[in-house]
Structure 1
Amino acid sequence: MKRHTSRALRAGVAAATAGVTLAACGVGAEPVRNPELSDGDVTISYAWWGAEARAQLTLEAIELFEEEYPNIDVDPQYAEWGGYWDRMATTTAAGDMPDVSQFDQIYLSSYADRGALLDLSGVSNILDISALDERILETGRVDGTQYAVPLGGAANGVIINTTLFEEYGVELPDTSDWTWDEFTRAADDLVTASDGEVRGVSPFADSFSLGVWARQQGSEVFDDEGVALSADVLASFWQRQLDWIDSGAAPSVDHIIETTGATLDQTDLVTGRTAMAFIPAGAFIAYQSAAPDFDLDLVNWPSGDGIEPGFQYPKPTMYWVAASTSEHPAEAALLIDFLTNDTRVGEIFGLDRGEPANPAFTEAIEPDLDDTGREALAFSESVAQEMGDTPPITPNGASTLDALLNRYTQQALLGETSPREAAEGFINELTDSVRAVD
């Protein structure tokens, strides 16, 4: 693996100029239909984000692919999250997007609408996605076209530091069927029992949590027309957090803002400053690995009267996409097919990129999972029985969703504006951003 490691490390630190946005004009080429694999030597580029541990796993999968297809050389490129998207915007605007890329749901529509992504139906002679569930495949479509292959889909859960509850003698309610009142009571009781040393809950932190909250209220963040979120629902999202802060169940506003964007090992849940938080289920293993001295549990959200089942949904952990400008679409499709269907890849990746979308991958890795991995899969299997319809993906123009949510959340929590006024401002700004690209 030596010849790949140095190239990947160089790519990992080659951050492009920050703040570059994808050009508004189309960057794609003519549609591809049933391309043929080359008999000659071919080089394709393959980009992903992640830390060094993921890079080593991915390089191992690349070596396996190249052994299987010796005429194809894969040029690996990776970076951390922020630098990755700066680089992606720069290369795509220049018509030099990597042949195959790891992608996120929040950017899928914007790149697809600008013609940067390959329509994968045109390479169905090479790429087989029939093993994936229709509900998860739907999350890789934009206007009915399959531009992306999901690696997996995970619900949002409540992570609980059970060690802290046991240490302070606070009994948790039955989390298989708990209510918001029971959740809040448990958080308050822990604060009282610990004399304020431990807070009960870290407030909601991202748009995934907002999406589940909205669905509990019978709403959605987006629909097929654009922004669907009501000001009442968003205001209630922030009011719930303010209630926890005011009661002491959550940390102070100043502390919450100071720790926004903290690395995983510095989050309140991992350091034991709070005992419950809302996380994508795919992150559970990373949390447990970062907090080896604590026993963590992962359970479904509280609900209660008036909340209908089906509020959970499988949010894609990430995708594989191919560039519409690729000079080797057949080989790009072959690499995606290999990453999607070869169970040896599943065994290499394990749960690093979340719980697999391909059931054969899950079957392949289950015998070697540790207790944490088994718990993550058990949670997904239990929640899968209660999942509702998959919501529309983030539309073009709304890739700033999390940044906007963070800004307006701070305004609401600091009392600079009321939750209702913040909600109206957020919805108006997000709606204007989506309409600007229509």
Structure 2
Amino acid sequence: MNSHLKRVVAIGGAALLLASLAGCGTANRNAAPGPTELSDEPVTLRMAWWGGDGRHERTQQVIDLFEEKYPNITVEPEFSDWAGYWEKLATSTAGKNSPDVIQMDQLYLASYGARGALADLNELGVDTSGMEPSVRDMGLYDDTLYAAPISTSITAMLVNSDLLDQVGVPVPDNADSWTWDEYSDWGAAVTAASPPGTYGASIPFTEYQLQLFVRQHGEELFDSEGVAVSPQVLEEFFQNSLDLVEAGAAAPASVWAETAGLPLDQTPMAVGTVASFPNTATLISAYSGASGANLELLPLPATEDGVEDFEYAKPGMYWSISSQSEHPIEAAALVNFFLNDEEAAKILGAERGLPANADALDAIYDQLTPQEQAVVAYTESRQPFFGDAPDIVPNGASNIQEIIQRYQQEVLFGQTTPADAAKNMIAELQQSIDAA
């Protein structure tokens, strides 16, 4: 493992708004301090996360290891799929029955932090010293560390090398620095050489991808007041997607609408009907496994004459501790174990993404697959283009992913113009933020 790995920002992977929390305080901010040392008495903690069977099995193995080290602490697991998880968490938190340890997402961190539902991890002694400061600080809300990153992600263009070989259109020589216009031209060439129903390019569609596009233009999506992006840059984002479709590089609106919400193994990238797809770099393993194809990672296209240091590493998910917990010190010990224990890291591997903790990443590096090691190398290659991390999604904007896709669809179907979509999306988001 090379000497730069310690500096690598490690990699990670439409939900319900927290309506049931609105207007209700979930914690007493003036409560007396709790215990500062681990209890010798029997303690039961509830730990909640979302994910598939593989995540459940690995997480339970680490819980078993933790309980061996702390025999007086019993950990009760609670897990579900993504949508069900947030509905259940919102209900339990509003009912003063939140799990002690919570797997948290960037879309919801501000919403829970603003309502006092999360504990200050620094006060509880959660050790985040193994993380890059820019990554750790994306767990801050209102200058308080309410969440500790488990893993981080970087977006890349996933490219199906086998499909390109079949149609005889190689990756451009300048793909490490291509522009959106060059990407469109290449995508159209791939489409023209491919069987009907197969396309060369895909449109950007996630909050993370929008953040990167906005940063390429020297702006930010959010700031402390709410929406920060200008209508002109957001209009260009929608226009860029429309241009990709109209050029024949990307699939038409009807195909995009039908496939946007499909499970991973049914998406165009997984079934081999698109040659390139922007997404989290660590998903290369999942898409390669589903498609049976060789995939490679390329940078996202950039804006011509735009800002170079637009990239950043985004936490894939976090661990948080409920402010309602009756055993916060024990909960902190559990979070510390998941974040920093070497044996725990080896059990968890890269299932949640590559660890945000550099020491944990070192511990598992040799057991990573060649594709996962390629993600580490890719991230290193993009570090010269890393800028400061952006503000997290503010309270009131947790449903931004749903909003982006709704306006994207309206533009692609010709129901609204990119300019009107930009203006209306900014107004909708700001109104929701102001009302939160």
SS in 2 for 1:123: coil
Matched residue, 2:5: none
- Using the TM superposition, name which of 179-188 and 375-384 deviates more: 179-188
- Given the superposition, is the C-alpha separation of residues 193 and 308 from structure 1 closer, same or farther in structure 2, using an over 3 Å criterion? same
Deviation at 1:224, TM superposition (A): 1.8
- Given the superposition, is the C-alpha separation of residues 153 and 32 from structure 1 closer, same or farther in structure 2, using an over 3 Å criterion? farther
Matched, 1:100 2:104: no
Q: Is the 8 A contact 2:201 2:277 kept in 1?
A: yes
Matched residue, 2:4: none
Q: Distance in 2 between matches of 1:431 and 1:359?
A: 37
Gaps of 5+ in 2: 1-15
Letter in structure 1 aligned against 2:184? T
Q: Distance in 2 between matches of 1:109 and 1:320?
A: 14
Q: Is the 8 A contact 1:116 1:323 kept in 2?
A: yes
- Given the superposition, is the C-alpha separation of residues 219 and 433 from structure 1 closer, same or farther in structure 2, using an over 3 Å criterion? same
Q: Distance in 1 between matches of 2:47 and 2:278?
A: 32
Q: State how 1:287-302 maps to structure 2 within 5 Å.
A: 287-291=287-291, 293-302=292-301
Matched residue, 2:255: 255
Deviation at 1:376, TM superposition (A): 1.4
Matched residue, 1:199: 199
- Using the TM superposition, name which of 375-384 and 338-347 deviates more: 375-384
SS in 1 for 2:26: coil
Deviation at 1:242, TM superposition (A): 1.0
Matched residue, 2:112: 111
Identity over the aligned pairs, expressed in percent?
40
Q: Distance in 2 between matches of 1:321 and 1:31?
A: 20
SS in 1 for 2:122: helix
Q: Is the 8 A contact 2:124 2:332 kept in 1?
A: yes
Q: Distance in 2 between matches of 1:370 and 1:137?
A: 26
Matched residue, 1:159: 158
Q: Distance in 2 between matches of 1:404 and 1:59?
A: 35
SS in 2 for 1:284: helix
Letter in structure 1 aligned against 2:235? A
Higher RCO (C-alpha 8 Å, min separation 6): 2
Matched residue, 1:57: 58
Matched residue, 1:417: 416
Q: Deviations over 1:61-102 (max 9, x none)?
A: 111111111110000000000000000000000111100011
Matched residue, 2:121: 120
Matched residue, 2:380: 381
- Given the superposition, is the C-alpha separation of residues 40 and 105 from structure 1 closer, same or farther in structure 2, using an over 3 Å criterion? same
Q: Distance in 2 between matches of 1:259 and 1:71?
A: 49
Letter in structure 1 aligned against 2:161? T
Q: Deviations over 1:399-429 (max 9, x none)?
A: 1111111211111111111111111111101
Letter in structure 2 aligned against 1:401? I
Deviation at 1:21, TM superposition (A): 2.5
SS in 2 for 1:120: coil
Q: Deviations over 1:10-42 (max 9, x none)?
A: xxxxxxx99852242211132646622110110
Q: State how 1:36-435 maps to structure 2 within 5 Å.
A: 36-124=37-125, 127-174=126-173, 175-291=175-291, 293-303=292-302, 305-435=304-434
Letter in structure 2 aligned against 1:375? A
Q: Distance in 2 between matches of 1:253 and 1:152?
A: 34
Deviation at 1:169, TM superposition (A): 1.1
Letter in structure 2 aligned against 1:434? I
SS in 1 for 2:297: strand
Q: Is the 8 A contact 2:184 2:247 kept in 1?
A: no
Aligned residue pair count:
418
Q: Distance in 1 between matches of 2:389 and 2:32?
A: 28
Q: Distance in 2 between matches of 1:251 and 1:231?
A: 26
Deviation at 1:121, TM superposition (A): 2.0
Q: Distance in 2 between matches of 1:362 and 1:223?
A: 31
Deviation at 1:195, TM superposition (A): 4.6
Deviation at 1:284, TM superposition (A): 2.5
- Root mean square deviation, CA, Å: 1.6
- Using the TM superposition, name which of 317-326 and 155-164 deviates more: 155-164
Q: Is the 8 A contact 2:26 2:115 kept in 1?
A: yes
TM-score by length of 1: 0.92
Letter in structure 2 aligned against 1:203? I
SS in 1 for 2:262: coil
Deviation at 1:202, TM superposition (A): 1.9
Letter in structure 1 aligned against 2:101? V
Q: Deviations over 1:89-144 (max 9, x none)?
A: 000001111000110001001101100000112212xx221111111011000111
SS in 1 for 2:21: coil
SS in 2 for 1:301: coil
Q: Distance in 2 between matches of 1:105 and 1:435?
A: 19
- Given the superposition, is the C-alpha separation of residues 236 and 305 from structure 1 closer, same or farther in structure 2, using an over 3 Å criterion? closer
Matched, 1:24 2:23: yes
- Given the superposition, is the C-alpha separation of residues 24 and 218 from structure 1 closer, same or farther in structure 2, using an over 3 Å criterion? same
SS in 1 for 2:385: coil
Deviation at 1:181, TM superposition (A): 3.1
Q: Distance in 2 between matches of 1:269 and 1:84?
A: 27
Letter in structure 1 aligned against 2:331? A
Q: Deviations over 1:343-369 (max 9, x none)?
A: 111111111111211111111111112
Letter in structure 2 aligned against 1:236? E
Q: Distance in 1 between matches of 2:196 and 2:248?
A: 8
Matched residue, 1:9: none
SS in 1 for 2:302: coil
SS in 2 for 1:317: strand
Gaps of 5+ in 1: 1-16
- Given the superposition, is the C-alpha separation of residues 377 and 18 from structure 1 closer, same or farther in structure 2, using an over 3 Å criterion? closer
Q: Distance in 2 between matches of 1:139 and 1:269?
A: 30
